[in-house]
Structure formats: C-alpha cells, structure tokens
Structure 1
Amino acid sequence: MAKGLISTWPETRHRLCIWHIFQNAAIHLSHVFESFKQFANDFSKCVYDFDEEEDFISEWNTMLKKYGLEDNDWLKRMFEIKEKWALVYGRETFCADMTTTQRSESMNSVIKRYVTYKNKFHEFFNHFERLVDDRRYKELKADFRAYMSTPVLPFDVDVLKQAASVYTPEVFKWFEIEWGKSYDCGIITYSEVGTVTEYKITPKGRKNYHMVRFDSIGDQISCSCKKFEFYGILCSHSLKVLNIRNIMKIPSQYIIKSWTNKAKAGYVKDHNCCNINNDLDPKVLFTKRYRDLCRLYTQLVTKAAQAEETYKIAKEGLLKILDLVDARLHQEGSSNEMSNATKVSNPTNNTTNASGINIKAYRRYYKYCIYEVQYATTWITRGVVVQFHASMIFRASVQVDKRPENLTEIDNGTFRASQN
C-alpha cells in the first residue's frame, strides 16, 4: 500500500496508526511490559514527547540500554520506519491531530449499517445515497446548533470571545483547553534579537521545554511542538507568549478557515484539477475534467437547494450553460461526423452484438462507474465528508455509442441500472 500511495500521491505523508503500534508492542514485548512497569511510560515518551530528532534518538537508545533491548528484532524494524510513527517526524504536515485510524474505522462501521457485499450494483447506490443523506442531515443539525447557540465562556476575556465567534463549537472546546493549559506553563525569555524573541515554555509537570519564537512584525509566532501545523489551532505554549505580549486576540493568520463557522462559504479550489495538461491521454483528460466539474456542481446544488430564490437562480443558470455546451458540442460534432460514422461502421474498431450495442464501450462504461464508486467510498472511509450523488456518476460517464438495454432513463440525461 505504501508504494501505491507514493506513486499516486507523491506529496502525501503515509503514517502508521499509533494505537496499533502499541498493540503490536504489547505482543512482541509482553515480557518487558510484565517485568518493568516504567517501560510503558518510557516507550510512550519516545512516541509523543520530543520536538527534536536528536532528543528522540537519544531517548530511544537510552531506553534500549536500560531494558537490555539492543538486539530486539521488532524494535530494530520499528526504528527503521520511525518516520511513519514517531511524532517527532511529520508534525509539519496538517493531520487535524489524527494519529490513529479510529476515524476511518468509525466511518467503516457506519457504512456497514447501510450496505453489504450482497448488495447489487443499483442497490449499492440506493443505500449509499441514504447514508449520504443521513450524514448531511446530521451536518445540517450541527450547523443549526452552531448558528443558534453561543458557547458558555468560563471567563469574560477577549480571546475566548473571539474564538467562540469564529470557531465551530467543537473546535472552540479544543481551543478552550489549550487556553486553560497556557496558564500552567512556565516561561523564560531565552534570547532577543531585533524584533524576534525566543522563549522557553515548560508545561506543568513536564521536564522537557518547548521553544516559541515570536516576531513582533506581523505578530508571527511558531512553536517547536508544531501543534498549529499539525492540528490547526495555536498551542498552549504560543498562547502563553501572546498573553505576556499583551496580544488579546488570535492573529488572523492563525485562524484556518476549515475550523470556522464559515468553512462552507466560497468556492473550494482544487489546484490539481485547475492545471490540466492537454498532452495527457484523452480518457485521463476526461476523468480530470469530470471530477473537477462534479465537485463544482455538488457545491453549487448543495447551497442553491437551501432556498427557493437561490434554487431558481441556479436552475436558470444551469439551463443556459447546458444550451451553450450543447451548441458547442454540436458545432464540434458536425465537423467530425463523417469520421465518427466511419469508425462506428468499421468492425475492426467496434465490436457489436446482435442488438447493435457497442460491447467495448459498454465495458468501458461499466468499469468507469465502478471506479467512481470506489473513489468516493475510499475518501468517505477516511473520514472526509464527500458530497456525492450517484446520478452524477451516470450523467457524466455515459460513453457508449448506444445505451445498454438494462439501463433505463429516469431523468434528463440520468440513467439507472434495472434488475434482470
């Protein structure tokens, strides 16, 4: 799987589930856990506690020597892939603080309530749409509660007021915890050069400290724990520094849109789809354009369906776009009509059955539908909310010269497989 991820998404960071790491450790090192009660804490420190690679390696070697595990094969193998599980590596990559596969497995259990391996192809679509509808309804209820309620503030301070007004209720709870922990942190000024000041921040009950760097030009702040880069909210160490610098609000550059009440506002751009190389294979180009348009279409209809006025605006606009697209396609089709007719009539290029159905095209159509379903399901099982509509798959992926007999048109341009 790791090789497939690298080849498909070269910029993606592949990490191992920490929960499974501990489960495997309990199996391979059961005798150590039973003999030494402190070993669990020392192993946990290596996983979680260090900001610098040198400190992690030093503590790892100390642990091996302390418990006589220098020749343990499992620990040797784990150290070779340390970049995939030790949190000292990869903190600069945004992961929404996910270090386990719990969210993915939770979504898997939700999907299993709606679909089974016994479902036929068209049954899968029906049940899958029910799942998406239920998830969207829960999302709407959460949005309604967020708009109609305000979190109760433990103290009447500006930073909490700001956080409560911009963050969703769930994210505000995370921020409130970090803000509370900041008051238990010790702080020492380490160095000051020009507009840049560095501080040593020591959390309560910890020996290790974190380095926080603050630049008064633009209120730029960074912490060695990299919680903002990894989680998306400022850590307690950074909040401690902002407090002593008399900065009573979160700098705007440290409020990411994904965690705010306005996360759905605007257009979500996909830079990978915007830069389409026309030198690619035509099928690849079609797939890229199709995905990009489907994403835009889903964003549009989700917003437009909320009110009658926006529904009418969207419908009128889409009808105009359809007319323009049809006219353009008709114009291009007329110039290529003779060449297309020759290809269809040529038995070496097209294999048809007695009913005149293009068998190769039918197979292309079927494989394309299967691919799109798997693509959408994969992202949902990773805990990402994907706005998916089955009819969109059929609407954009009909590539056959003649529609297969077991497909019936249920709407303008929308097809559904019928039972045999």
Structure 2
Amino acid sequence: MCLVVVFSGVNHHNQSIVFAAAIVVKEINETYAWLLERFLEAMGGKSPISVITDGDNAMLNAIKKVFPKARHRLCTLHLIRNATANVKNLQFVTKFKQCMLGDFDVSEFERRWDKMVAEFGLENNNWVFELYSKRDMWATTHIRGNFFAGFKRMSRCKGLHSEFSKYVNLKDNLLDFMQQFMRWINYMRFREVEADFTSSFGDHVLQSPLHKLEESAANVYTREILSMLVPIFNRLCTCRVKAGKQSGSLFNFCVVRYGKKGVKWNVTFCQAKLEFKCSCLRVESYGIPCEHMICVFVSLEIVNMSGCVFMPRWTKSAKDSLPGFEGTNNSCSGPASVGAFLWIVESCKRMANVEMGEN
C-alpha cells in the first residue's frame, strides 16, 4: 500500500527504460525534492534536460528547486482531460488541441488563442487564464527547439505500469517486490542488448530512392531510429528549394512544400563549420533531420549526411562515452543500473525510519 515512483525515459533504440525508482509514503513537496536529489546523486550530478509530468504541484515545485535548468513539459493527455472537465465544451477542446499541438510561430499562436478565448467567452475563466500563463510548458510553439525525443504525453509511463503489473501483485511483500522489480529491469536490459546486436550486425534493406543518404544514415543510426527517418526521405518529393542566397561561407535556402502556399522554411548551411540548421528546429526537438534539410542535401548533391544532424544519443555508439560502457556493449553496468536497486533500498530505509522508528 505504498507509492512507487518510476523515473523513465528512452534509450538509443527508442525503447522505454527505467533510470531509477523509489518507494514513498506521501506525495508532498519534501518527498519529491528528496527523490530528485537522490536521482541527481545517482546520475553523478548530471540533471536531465527535459522532464514530462502530469502537472502534479508537488512534483512541479520539486523540479523547480532541484532541476532549475530542466525544461518541464506537461502531459498533453492530462491537459485535454482538464480542458474537458473545466470548460465542458467539446468544440473548445478541439480548438485547444489545435493551439497546443500546432507548429505555429508565436504571433500565429497568439492570434489563434485570442480568437478561441473570445469565441467561447472565456476571458474571465480562471483556469484558462492560469493555463495561458503556463503556455511555455505545453504549447508546441514555445517548446519547439527543446529536446523531448518527440514525446508529448506520458503514454510511455502508462505502458511501463501495465508491463510491470505482470510481475507484481497486491499480495507481494516488500522483499518479493524488490526481487520482481529487478527481474523486470533485467528483462529490459536484455531487450536492449538484443537491439544493440541487431543494429550492429543486421543488414538494413534500403527503402527510399535516396540510397546513398539512407545508407550513410544506416551506418550511424540504430535500427529503430532509422525506421523513423525513412518516411522523412519519402516525403522529400513534396519539397523543393525555391531560392538560395550566399553571404561569405553562409548559405541560406528557402524550402517550400507543394500545396502549402505561403508556408516556407529557412535552411542555413555554414560551409566553414559544415553545419546545417532549419527554422523548423526538428533536429533540436527530435534529434533527427527534417525533410527540408534533406531537400537541401539533395539540391547540393550531398550523398553523405553531415555529422551535425546526427544526435549522439540516437546512434549505435551512444553508450561508448558513458562510464561503465566504454569498449563494451554490456548494458547491465553503469551508475544508472545500480542506482535503480539502491534507490529501492534507500527509500525503504527512509520509509522505515519515518513509519516505524529506528528499530
């Protein structure tokens, strides 16, 4: 009858993984602050750059205190549920989803938001006012350019809960729970080892017309990440480079898409640094290049994808620079692996001291 807090994320194969876990008695500010401090300690002082939660106030306050530099995003699914409960108008929920998920610039977002509020007469609605004040935590317009691996909601977390429920039940005591927890973690590690082997030694079947670019990506990206990139290669036929300007070693390209008048993206190429950047910020947000950038590659007859578009955390060598992983594919070592078990022990000690005293 205790709360289990799981800190989860994804590995370089886009598989769900557990960074750490803890058993707590109460969901209060002090508890979550203690949890995040222990998490920071287990990770050698390295805090996450992005966090997604359901908006719990205790967790929100703890994140501000312990991870002040982390970008905090609110789960879109919870926001939609809250919108349904607080406004009780399905048409508003539809318009709100468009504002939340639409990839607009700031001025367009403000125009759509003001129009929506006026349309449904919500100028004096406190919940809507508070929601707008937190727009940098949920609106794609304001979050774009911050890495969240493409996640907008906590569906991965729900999936982990469902998977973990296969290993434990309400009748398990604390010792059985810890043993089953480690059994679950070991299964996840084995799954990652399998994916490492498949990415390193399996043969990739080319699926797009851009054979050279796809082949160069296949040499670097893991199999799962490459499967996310192939549809982008195929969407390239709808894009074209409309114009280009040069200023010294800096090139600026304007990319448009068929059927979308007035919509354009700016791709810059610094020849001196061999760096590409796109105004859509797909590389910064998702870690994979966009079709606008690849369109410029084709225009410049580049057959090998530039290193600037490869985010190291999605590559086959993602673990090479981590302590405990150098020169090995063993995913069962490293501080995070040990941290998951030690957290359970430490949390149980703390719970015992609070509830039952030192004895």
**TM-score in terms of structure 1 length:** 0.60
* 1:196 counterpart = 2:250: yes
Q: What is the match of residue 57 of structure 1?
A: 110
**CA shift for structure 1 position 190:** 6.2
* Amino acid in the other structure paired with 2:191: K
Q: Which runs of 5+ in 2 are unaligned?
A: 1-58, 348-359
Q: What is the match of residue 217 of structure 1?
A: 272
**CA shift for structure 1 position 178:** 1.5
Instruction: Flag the 1:163–1:91 CA change in 2: closer, same or farther, 3 A.
Output: same
User: Which structure's relative contact order is higher, taking Cα pairs within 8 Å and 6+ residues apart?
Assistant: 2
Aligned ranges for residues 122-201 of structure 1 at < 5 Å? Answer: 122-154=175-207, 155=209, 157-189=211-243, 191-201=245-255
Instruction: Flag the 1:17–1:255 CA change in 2: closer, same or farther, 3 A.
Output: same
Aligned ranges for residues 244-393 of structure 1 at < 5 Å? Answer: 244-264=299-319, 266-268=320-322, 296=324, 299=325, 386-388=336-338
Taking the aligned partners of 2:184 and 2:217, their CA distance within structure 1 comes to: 32
Q: What is the match of residue 77 of structure 1?
A: 130
Runs of 4+ in structure 1 deviating by more than 6 angstroms, as ranges, are 389-397
**CA shift for structure 1 position 229:** 0.7
**CA shift for structure 1 position 181:** 1.7
**CA shift for structure 1 position 18:** 1.3
Instruction: Flag the 1:219–1:303 CA change in 2: closer, same or farther, 3 A.
Output: closer
**CA shift for structure 1 position 212:** 2.1
Aligned length: 287
Instruction: Flag the 1:68–1:168 CA change in 2: closer, same or farther, 3 A.
Output: same
* 1:16 counterpart = 2:74: yes
Percent sequence identity over matched residues?
A: 25
Instruction: Flag the 1:229–1:119 CA change in 2: closer, same or farther, 3 A.
Output: same
* Amino acid in the other structure paired with 2:200: Y
Indicate conservation of the 8 Å contact 2:182/2:341, yes or no: no
**CA shift for structure 1 position 147:** 3.2
* Amino acid in the other structure paired with 1:49: G
Taking the aligned partners of 1:24 and 1:52, their CA distance within structure 2 comes to: 25
Q: What is the match of residue 100 of structure 2?
A: 47
Taking the aligned partners of 1:44 and 1:391, their CA distance within structure 2 comes to: 39
Taking the aligned partners of 2:344 and 2:139, their CA distance within structure 1 comes to: 44
* 1:92 counterpart = 2:92: no
Q: Deviations over 1:38-91 (max 9, x none)?
A: x82x43442233353223212222333445444444332221111110011232
* Amino acid in the other structure paired with 1:19: L
Taking the aligned partners of 1:230 and 1:99, their CA distance within structure 2 comes to: 11
**CA shift for structure 1 position 214:** 2.2
Instruction: Flag the 1:393–1:57 CA change in 2: closer, same or farther, 3 A.
Output: closer
Which deviates the most, 254-263 or 191-200? Answer: 191-200
Taking the aligned partners of 1:239 and 1:122, their CA distance within structure 2 comes to: 53
* Amino acid in the other structure paired with 1:167: Y
Name the SS for the 1:89 alignment partner.
helix
* Amino acid in the other structure paired with 2:229: F
Name the SS for the 2:267 alignment partner.
strand
Indicate conservation of the 8 Å contact 1:184/1:204, yes or no: yes
**CA shift for structure 1 position 233:** 0.7
Instruction: Flag the 1:65–1:10 CA change in 2: closer, same or farther, 3 A.
Output: same
Taking the aligned partners of 2:331 and 2:99, their CA distance within structure 1 comes to: 51
Name the SS for the 1:95 alignment partner.
coil
| Greater fraction of residues in strand | 2
Name the SS for the 2:251 alignment partner.
strand
* Amino acid in the other structure paired with 1:238: M
